[in-house]
Amino acid sequence: MPDKNFFLSPKASKARLREAEQARKNRQEIIKARSQGQISRRDLIKMGIFTSAGLMLPISGLSPFARSAYADSNIPTGLPPSPLFTATAFSQPMPRFDVFPRNPVSVLNPAPTAQANTTQQPVDPALGGGMGPIEGRPPGPIWAHQQFTQLPPVIAIQASMEGAKINNVYNPGVPSNQNSGINAANPFHPTFHPNLPDQTALKLWTYNGTIPPKLMQVRYGEPVLFRLSNKLPVQQNQNGGFGIHTISTHEHNGHHGAENDGFTGAYFFPNQFYDYHYPIVLAGRNSINTDATDINASSPTDAGGLTKVPGDWHETMSTHWFHDHMFSFTSQNVYKGMAGMFNIYSGKDRGAEDIIDGVNLRLPSGRASVSGKSWGNLDYDVNLMLADKAWDGNGQLAMDIFEFDGFLGDRMTVNLAYKPYMEVERRKYRFRILNGAVSRFFKIALSDSSPMIQIANDGNLLPHPVVLTKLDEQGIAERYDIVIDFSRYSINQKVWMVNLAEHQDGKRVDKDLSVSEALSGNSDDPCVGKFLEFRIVRDPAQPDISQVPDPLIPNPDLSAIPVARERTFEFNDGANQTTHDPITSFFGPWGIKTNDQGDTLAADFGRISAAPRFGTREIWTLKNGGGGWDHPIHIHFEECQTLARNGSASAVPAWEKGRKDVWRLRPDGEVKITLQFRDFGGMFMEHCHNTVHEDNAMLLRWEIDDLGTPFLQPLPTPIPKPQGVTFMPPDDILPSAF
């Protein structure tokens, strides 16, 4: 297939291509200056690039919204295609995730503390000098780890955020023959393909500075302390042109106290660490099965048995991910590599298909009797992170932050490898598929249109498995777990995962193609078509005894819990900003209108838009305000049940009938959901997960109001500085929040 220029039609004139290249160069200078702190938002307004209402003015040669003088392209953006050098599709093996080592908490020095560790250290002059705390978590009781003594951390996972380097300690968690022949002992280079240049330390920023992306394996009832050290450059301008060195990690969609949620305003600086305490509990632990008597609410022991845990087993979660959530820089930082996955193991979903105890669902994973691991086998349980990327003429990661509709790359990567292949055996595999893109939606089929079984949505095992020949569109941050049975193929056969979702821009999917259309090579979108090749290489050494039972995990029954309150959130463009706080607020074009009152507001993490009462249940309606966009809306903290789409309960498809945490609203669409507020408190978020929309500035803060200590109401807003986090009162509290 000839190399297609996605961003400009193949029919675009040479003049249009030249114009596009010039526009790219012009914008690049501004992107660089903005990301490096050399110009402020006010400067951009003065320069006429933004209006105070947040709309970008149509300046030809600069704005992606401006119509070209050469109107021969309806694709209004301007990056040239990413060169492939000598790399070709399906010529490199797909690396499995790199599993984080799990250590006893005693290895942590200093030991973790309930309140932030405010031991002082000198602050680099580039960060203002003076002295500041070693931990960047906001200090004091309201940001202390909740229930730290009841749920003390048992496992320590340590990581650093740093620039790209060679990985000499890659641990795929499986032998080489389950990792497409990759010898994990070889140095693993920070590149999207062996025939592409290594990414430089300023372009790619990842957990531990290495690829493959990282996997945390955790289990219920075993609290984890994730200590993340910020080792990014102290100079803000050492960023390769985009991304920012202040970071905040969100464990999406952890049921943890807000101090561990990666709040967008709880970011920390180079040379600081942040202790995230992940208790890994079943929701409802303080009200349901509190004495831990239900064996279904359980966690795997190393010896092959079960430990009972409190909480509602219907709330069991399996597939999470973690990523940066820095205010107004999430898209750039995640694109730069700050994303990993997080598998949670339980009695139901333990990752050992040969343990038959009446609780274990025995999903495809691997055999404890072969590996010696009674949980968390990865042989046939495969994490896939899909992301579209773009790179410049030197092969270095490139991004255009002025694509306010959404930024699209033109090269498909799986686990950060450009169009790889994976060797598989003739048996069932589970794939935990994450959309880790900035703005792109995917829609997945197999090249021969044979069936896949969807077993989970957003990490929640469905009430019933769903057989599909095409998955639904998958929005940014959504996770679809599927099972593919390769026993129907013969050895040496190949089959491909195919993307059917064609984009023209970052607004939404332009068109869902048929498999044959997607395979035809006629799409202008180079991320359409085959992106992952499965090579069926052998029979399994042991017979496949894994199962996909029905039912999987029924929904929790909420019928006896009264609905305390209904709220409405409408997602629009043309947002207004009413606060103008230089630290906590940002401007549109995107925003959220709450409860049909007042303006559509751009994000301010100092504004409280909703404050549900602790211990209650509410119904929230998420509305697309129109304009032809789709928005994948994410609500932090609790998994929700989808009650209706466009007012109709029967319009909720079978694969959305479990619990979810991200909903594609679809153009002009509306979703009604229900959720509870329990177990923990503090400030959480709701936002579009098209991360460009999120950053510009479709995000709001809500907090759980418990009418007393330790959560004062309303909570003060943290203002992070290298010399210590201070607090200020909320900029704004919407009249309908409490």
Give the interface with Cu ion as residue ranges (CB under 5 A): 631, 688, 690, 693
- Residue 473 beta carbon to Cu ion: minimum distance, rounded to whole angstroms: 14
Toward Cu ion, which CB reaches closer, 308 or 631? Answer: 631
* Residue 710 preceded by cis peptide, ω within 30: yes
Strand ranges across the sheet with 682-688: 662-664, 632-635, 682-688, 699-704, 607-610, 732-733
Assigned token pair, 161: 């955020």
Strands (E) located in 185-253: 205-207, 214-219, 224-230, 249-252
- CA 283 – CA 302 distance, rounded (Å): 23
- Residue 697 beta carbon to Cu ion: minimum distance, rounded to whole angstroms: 11
Toward Cu ion, which CB reaches closer, 359 or 665? Answer: 665
Toward Cu ion, which CB reaches closer, 314 or 693? Answer: 693
Whether the CB-CB separation of 486 and 536 falls below 8 Å is answered with: yes
Toward Cu ion, which CB reaches closer, 366 or 409? Answer: 409
Task: Look up tokens 């199962």; give the residue.
Answer: 547
Q: What is the DSSP letter of 648?
A: B
The residue type of 586 is F
Sequence-ordered list of residues with C-beta below 8 angstroms from that of 41, at least 6 positions apart, any chain: 50, 586, 587
Toward Cu ion, which CB reaches closer, 269 or 335? Answer: 335
Toward Cu ion, which CB reaches closer, 473 or 706? Answer: 473
- Residue 693 beta carbon to Cu ion: minimum distance, rounded to whole angstroms: 3
The residue type of 455 is I
**Residue in 421, 424, 422 with CA at minimum distance from that of residue 487:** 424
Toward Cu ion, which CB reaches closer, 460 or 690? Answer: 690
Strand-pair partners of 688? 633
- Residue 596 beta carbon to Cu ion: minimum distance, rounded to whole angstroms: 19
- CA 437 – CA 467 distance, rounded (Å): 25
- Residue 623 beta carbon to Cu ion: minimum distance, rounded to whole angstroms: 13
- CA 141 – CA 138 distance, rounded (Å): 9
Q: How far is CA 11 from CA 16, 82, 293, 523, in A?
A: 10, 18, 67, 13
Toward Cu ion, which CB reaches closer, 486 or 586? Answer: 586
**Residue in 265, 32, 204, 239 with CA at minimum distance from that of residue 126:** 239
**Residue in 250, 268, 253 with CA at minimum distance from that of residue 139:** 268
- CA 665 – CA 631 distance, rounded (Å): 6
Toward Cu ion, which CB reaches closer, 320 or 666? Answer: 666
Toward Cu ion, which CB reaches closer, 267 or 571? Answer: 571
Toward Cu ion, which CB reaches closer, 23 or 688? Answer: 688
- Residue 696 beta carbon to Cu ion: minimum distance, rounded to whole angstroms: 10
Torsion, Cα 136 141 142 148, to 10 degrees, reads 90
Q: What is the DSSP letter of 93?
A: B
- Residue 590 beta carbon to Cu ion: minimum distance, rounded to whole angstroms: 6
Toward Cu ion, which CB reaches closer, 145 or 631? Answer: 631
Q: How far is CA 701 from CA 268, 581, 635, in A?
A: 19, 15, 10
Task: Look up tokens 């691991």; give the residue.
Answer: 373
- Residue 250 beta carbon to Cu ion: minimum distance, rounded to whole angstroms: 17
Toward Cu ion, which CB reaches closer, 475 or 730? Answer: 475
Toward Cu ion, which CB reaches closer, 218 or 437? Answer: 437
Neighbours of 48 (CB within 10 A): 11
- Residue 699 beta carbon to Cu ion: minimum distance, rounded to whole angstroms: 10
- Residue 690 beta carbon to Cu ion: minimum distance, rounded to whole angstroms: 4
Toward Cu ion, which CB reaches closer, 387 or 688? Answer: 688
- Residue 688 beta carbon to Cu ion: minimum distance, rounded to whole angstroms: 3
Task: Look up tokens 């003390």; give the residue.
Answer: 152
* Residue 194 preceded by cis peptide, ω within 30: no
| Alpha-helix runs per DSSP H in 618-699 | 691-695
- Residue 570 beta carbon to Cu ion: minimum distance, rounded to whole angstroms: 12
The residue type of 226 is F
DSSP per residue, 242-297: S--S-B-EEEET----GGGTT-TT--B-TT-EEEEEE----TTTTTSSTT---TTS
Toward Cu ion, which CB reaches closer, 271 or 690? Answer: 690
Biggest distance spanned by C-alpha atoms of the chain: 72
> 446: exposed, middle or buried (C-beta count within 10 Å: 0-12, 13-18, 19+)?
middle
Q: How far is CA 246 from CA 133, 273, 274, in A?
A: 15, 11, 12
- Residue 629 beta carbon to Cu ion: minimum distance, rounded to whole angstroms: 6
- Residue 384 beta carbon to Cu ion: minimum distance, rounded to whole angstroms: 23
Assigned token pair, 393: 């003429």
Whether the CB-CB separation of 631 and 693 falls below 8 Å is answered with: yes
Toward Cu ion, which CB reaches closer, 277 or 693? Answer: 693
* 3-class DSSP state of 141: helix
Strands (E) located in 93-145: 98-99, 103-104, 120-122, 131-133
- Residue 584 beta carbon to Cu ion: minimum distance, rounded to whole angstroms: 21
- Residue 404 beta carbon to Cu ion: minimum distance, rounded to whole angstroms: 10
- Residue 631 beta carbon to Cu ion: minimum distance, rounded to whole angstroms: 3
> 356: exposed, middle or buried (C-beta count within 10 Å: 0-12, 13-18, 19+)?
exposed
